[in-house]
Amino acid sequence: MNKSDNAGPRSLTRPLVLLLLALVVGWLVLVVAQIGELPASGRETPDKLRAAVADALGHRSADELQELFSKESAGKKYAETYLKSWESLQASDVRVELSPDTARVLVAATAGDGNRVCVGWPVAQQRGLWYLEGVPALQGVTCST
């Protein structure tokens, strides 16, 4: 019996296992790289957070607005629900400002009926980024005319 008679299925097993291992490792590297490219929610500074809120409201984008809230303070549909209420106001003259102490993002607008409406969300820093807190500020929010 010569060596070529033993070159059956066992001789194919090692290259096949190595190929499968390489495919799994390649897939894992791809997944990790894609996760690393996901945009971070929150913003680097309170003023960038304010600007992002203004953009999200201007675009009427629940997805853009939702990513600005801390995950612990606002449910998955918070921004969507908020924007539905916002759109019902038929708001104009919208202003988004940062409070002087940078503790709140303040949104003021004129509703379709002519009344001023305001909301202020507290801001908090987590893991180096600034987020909105889902519970509106109960103090320090004044509706400027």
For 9-63, how does the pLDDT look when each residue is reduced to its tens digit (9 = 90+)? 666 787 888 888 888 888 877 777 665 544 458 899 999 999 999 999 999 999 9
What does the angle CA 74 – CA 97 – CA 65 come to, to the nearest 5 degrees? 30
* Look-up of token digits 């190929």: 19
pLDDT of residue 44: 94
Q: Cβ neighbours of residue 122 under 8 Å, at least 6 residues apart?
A: 103, 104, 132, 133, 135, 137
For 108-139, how does the pLDDT look when each residue is reduced to its tens digit (9 = 90+)? 999 999 999 888 999 999 889 999 999 887 76
pLDDT of residue 8: 57
Which of the two residues, 13 and 145, has the higher pLDDT score?
Answer: 13
